[in-house]
Amino acid sequence: MSLIFDLDGTLLDTLDDLWASVNHALAQFSMPMRSPCEIRQFLGNGAQVLIHQSLPTDTPTELEEQVFAAFRQHYLKHNQDRTRPYPGIIEMLRQCKERGYRTAIVSNKPDAAVQQLHQRFFADTIDLAIGQQANIRRKPAPDMVLLAMERLQTTNAPTIYIGDSEVDIATARNAGLPCICVDWGFRDRHFLEEQGATRIIHLPNELFTE
């Protein structure tokens, strides 16, 4: 059995650090600030989409690229200031390891940040992590998930994808995998149900119940 996890909103509460880095970048260019609620809604499709949605609609492409660069520089230095695993996550991952499950993180966050967070929080409990890279399509394309399965050597083994958003539901569908959604992340249960979620859990240890 292998389990492939989304990162932001599934394993880690990253909202405060993302919000701080977005507003830091916006402030550098005298752009309007964004609220945590707005940032929460913009998450799921990667950092470039996050910045695009955080900017005014008429922002020139060159300026958007500069804001993104400022965000990325700040976030790589500050992505662990307030970020923490959700309650019960570490215990759940230890159970996965005890059961012999193979595990991976697949995230639309830039790969450098994904590797930092993997090493900081999950080096002993999750086998590998894959973030957004130039040579691979981001979720909801299945590419990163299929690569994780290949590296885990579980291509032919039962695999479940776990996430917290509509992007994750679509990713699992595109990869041909069952999906378990969590309701403690960036989307609520009602929204997930509207997006077609068939199984939603409220606590991490519910992962082991049918």
pLDDT tens figures, 39-87:
999 999 999 999 999 999 999 999 999 999 999 999 999 999 999 999 9
Here the tokens at position 105 are 């993180």
pTM of the model: 0.94
- Is the predicted pLDDT of residue 155 greater than 80, yes or no? no
Domains and CATH numbers, the chain: 2-13+84-208 (3.40.50.1000), 15-78 (1.10.150.240)
Residue 101: pLDDT band (50, 70, 90) is very high
Residues 106-111, mean pLDDT to the nearest whole number:
95
C-alpha triplet 75, 53, 14: angle, nearest 5°: 35
Residues 12-35, mean pLDDT to the nearest whole number:
97
Task: Count Cβ atoms within 10 A of the Cβ of residue 62 and give its class: 0-12 exposed, 13-18 middle, 19 or more buried.
Answer: exposed
| Chain mean pLDDT for the chain | 96
Residue 209: pLDDT band (50, 70, 90) is confident
pLDDT at 52: 97
User: Percent of the chain beyond pLDDT 90?
Assistant: 96
d(CA 7, CA 44): 10
Residue 64 dihedral angles phi and psi, to the nearest 5°: -60, -40
pLDDT at 157: 82
Active site residue 16: no
Here the tokens at position 17 are 């650090």
Residues 103-119, mean pLDDT to the nearest whole number:
96
